[in-house]
Amino acid sequence: MSDTINPTVLERASVWLEGTFDDDTKVRVKELMETDPVALTDAFYRDLEFGTGGLRGIMDVGTNRMNKYTVGMATQGLANYLKMMFPEVDPISLVLSYDSRNNSRYFATVTAEVLAANGFVVYLFDSLRPTPELSFAIRYLGCQSGVMLTASHNPKEYNGYKAYWDDGAQMIAPHDVNVINEVKKIISIDQVKWQGNRHKIQIIGNEIDEAYLDEILQLRLSPEAIDRQKKLKIVFTPLHGTGQTMIPEILKRFGFENVSIVTEQATADGNFPTVHSPNPEEQDALNMALQLAKKIDAELVMATDPDADRVGIAVKDPAGKFILLNGNQTAALLFYYILNRWKELGKFTGNEYIVKTIVTTELLRDIAQSFDLEYFDVLTGFKFIADIIRKHEGEKKFIVGGEESYGYLIGDFVRDKDAVSACALIAEIAAWVADQGKTMFDLLLEIYTSFSFYKERLLSVTKKGKTGAEEIQQMMVTFREIPMESINGINVVEIKDYLKQEAKNLVTGKMTKTDLPASNVLQFILEDGSIISVRPSGTEPKIKFYFSVREAMNEQSDYDRINLQLEEKINGIISSLELT
């Protein structure tokens, strides 16, 4: 069998049959060598990349897999960088948490032991906790870094490793690139300090939980409405993840007494046995919750991903049928409700702001401007929202931030998207509108009539292999070098090129700076206000197209007609770009 395997792959794999690798690992490598050359090649043809968000990959033996050795080598690289950046801190400290995925606890233990062996104090949660609580704990404990073991909503075969900085946010430049460089310097497992100083690992739990929940409780804006609507029927599912640890408890503390949990999905299970994918963006993941909601005639359905940083919701339409809201619609409800209540409660001082990403609905900008509130646009990724908070800390007050991919943050005591606080505030919105004899869908229609009906859609185009990656690269080159003057018969009035960090007004010819870090993203703004954003993936042969269209909606009864009209407009744009 070995004669059918690429010699370089065979050489890399053979290293794992020698030295200090454990016996189980050696047996598994030998098994792949003898029975599965394709799997062996994929496991060893390259090193698992430590990207700007950390590690993410399939779990198995190999240099291109998540396992004890790739996790340990990444941790040693991180430790080396922290020693360089915090020479005056002794000891350096980190927080570790993990989700319900298979091997998450094991990888967290490996990480803790390597860090302790490097002389660091390690705060390790006693059991699984959500990503946002890890972010909170870094700040609460005054640590220099943190690591979350999770692969978010990826399939069960995956796990991952997200690295955080001392502000509780995922790393951005220059730290992200610098850590990557340090990790690349670890070329052998013998460079890793695997054992020693275990006494430096401190187990944490309830104290952090209480402090975190207390902070979320301070976000309440309508406790009286909740008290009157405390029997409101809510269905929640953690999709076998960490949401079960905090979300039922925070809903109880907010005052909700009628929360039904999807029992079959309440147990932490890295095999995610009841769903194809534990992704709250997908309707299939919410099917069991929707069935329960129909059975008990609930008003709201909420589902969180395995590490509880994102939430998807379903609400009733005027016919009483549950519909799933997309990330932009949920963000609009959160932003409008929070800002409206801040105004009613007299909380504004004139120094507040909100943040969104450049591919998130412009409806959030309109809502912010209606309250004379400053807003910031940032690149895709919640770490950039956290960066704005850090830059303005002590000078301006962050209220709320969000992105179209179902991530939201209320308040600044966490520096990553937080489905725990988001679920609490979403439930509060449901109580607030119910107290007025309305539904969340009614509120969404009110927002559309007050501003405009914004409709968004995401289209991901995947190309296979090396040729696919080259094809995507050429697509971006073509979009840049031969820019379209019209799309779907509508004139393009502005092109923003975030890689070149410039925007060109096609009507006046004026060039301006985008004032954001360089990123391979293009945006085409059309005469009617439509926006098409194009962004290739940095890690796989995939290119994403974000479409945003809008139309004035004077009457709520116009919803169905305008919804169909905007749907057809997006279809027309996609057709004109020849993406179908």
Nearest to 156 by CA among 40, 58, 285, 293: 58
∠ CA(381), CA(170), CA(146), 5° rounding? 155
| Rounded CA separation 396/361 (Å) | 23
Q: Where are the alpha helices (DSSP H) in 142-191?
A: 175-184
Omega cis (within 30) before 37: no
486: annotated active-site residue: no
Contact 145, 78 (CB under 8 A): yes
Selecting among 152, 421, 533, 548, the annotated active-site residue is: 152
Amino acid letter, residue 477 = V
Distance between CA 488 and CA 479 in Å, rounded? Answer: 15
The rounded distance, in Å, linking the Cα atoms of 276 and 163 is 27
**Spatial separation of the C-alpha atoms in residues 72 and 111, rounded to whole Å:** 6
| Phi, psi angle pair for 165, to nearest 5° | -100, -175
How far lies 433's CA from each of 4, 331, 371, 430, in Å? 65, 16, 20, 5
Please report, for the chain, how many H helices and E strands are present, in that order: 18, 23
CA dist 283 and 302 (Å) reads 12
Q: Around Cβ 203, how many Cβ atoms within 10 Å?
A: 11
Cα separation, 399 vs 419, whole angstroms: 16
d(CA 523, CA 508): 17
User: Rounded distance, CA 545 to CA 579, Å?
Assistant: 9
Dig out the tokens for 276 from the structure.
Answer: 């194809």
Structure tokens at 544: 């994403």
Q: What is the DSSP letter of 47?
A: P
**Is the torsion defined by CA of 55, 58, 61, 62 positive or negative?**
negative
CB 33 within 8 A of CB 139: no
The rounded distance, in Å, linking the Cα atoms of 323 and 315 is 6
Q: Structure tokens of 65? A: 């897999």
Contact (Cβ atoms closer than 8 angstroms) between residue 375 and residue 369? yes
Other C-beta atoms closer than 10 Å to the C-beta of 308 total: 31
Q: At what angle do helices 23-35 and 7-15 cross, to 10 degrees?
A: 160
| 37 phi/psi in degrees, rounded to 5 | -65, -30
Q: What secondary structure does DSSP assign to 446-478, as a single string?
A: HHHHHS-EEEEEEEEEE--HHHHHHHHHHHHHH
Range list of β-strands (E), 362-446: 374-378, 397-403, 407-410
Residues assigned a catalytic role: 152
